Amino acid sequence: MPKVEFRENPSPEEVKLFVDSAVSSEGILTIFARCRVHYDGRAKSELGSGDRIIMVKPDGSLLIHKGEKREPVNWQPPGSVVRLEIREKPVLISVRRKPRETLEVELDEVYLVTVFHAEDSEELALTGSEAEMAELIFENPGVIEPGFRPLHREKPIKHGIVDVLGVDKDGNVVVLELKRRRAELHAVSQLKRYVETLREEHENVRGILVAPSLTSGAKKLLEKEGLEFRRLEPPKRGKKSRGRQLRLF
């Protein structure tokens, strides 16, 4: 079987053969087409006719991309079941069972259909990331200060998500905002917002910006707002471990 199969300007019957082949062989299906999209589930939506890229992955994910922006304009999650029906035009149908959601892509004109029989068993290993900075802090809290106890990663609060939330040796709530590169004014404003939000519930809250370095403007704003800075380089490693998180609230 070739790695890539394709057909330009396929007939509806050829499109169905490619869809069936992708589903049965667990290939990645890509369709370049002028299409209309109808969604019925937790809400309803309609997308008029336009040129788009449609991708169906072996796990059932379905993504529809326009010629702009990063995110798909319509999508279905992994676990959805995909098939193609030939009506007046070919219609690609994706059904998610729980909750019940149906996405129908009416293919007005298909320019190209491909099936990519991909082999990929590798997992992404990020190095020098903010996630690894958090991992390092949980493994060695003393890099922040003696007595610091990290309790939560990516803790949702009213105005965002705190990278690391913990307490210091005196029991004060500590908010850590992590940046893997030089921190700028925006990072300080973000930290200030999180600290102010948590002060609505807790009397003593400290905010610490953690980064390899920071701009002079960020330094001045930190001092003005009574916030702190800790210098920390992102670790250069790919392996991650999972630590147990304690509960603060």
pTM to 2 decimal places = 0.57
- What is the Cα–Cα distance from 82 to 23, expressed in whole angstroms? 8
Q: Report phi then psi at 243, rounded to 5.
A: -105, 150
More confident residue, 39 or 243: 39
> Mean pLDDT throughout 173-199?
94
Identify the H or E element spanning 193. Answer: helix 185-198
- What is the Cα–Cα distance from 5 to 14, expressed in whole angstroms? 12
- Please give the mean pLDDT across all residues of the chain: 91
Task: Determine contact, residues 50/66, Cβ cutoff 8 Å.
Answer: yes
- Residue 4 pLDDT greater than 80, yes or no: yes
Confidence band, pLDDT 50/70/90 cuts, at residue 72:
very high
- Which domains are present in the chain? 4-116 (2.70.180.20), 130-231 (3.40.1350.10)
pLDDT in tens, 106-154: 999 999 999 999 888 776 665 568 889 999 999 999 999 999 999 999 9
CA atoms within 13 A on the CB side of 63: 15
- What is the Cα–Cα distance from 103 to 41, expressed in whole angstroms? 8
Other CB atoms within 10 A of residue 107 CB? 21
pLDDT in tens, 204-218: 999 999 999 999 999
User: Residue 34 forms beta bridges with which residues?
Assistant: 51, 109
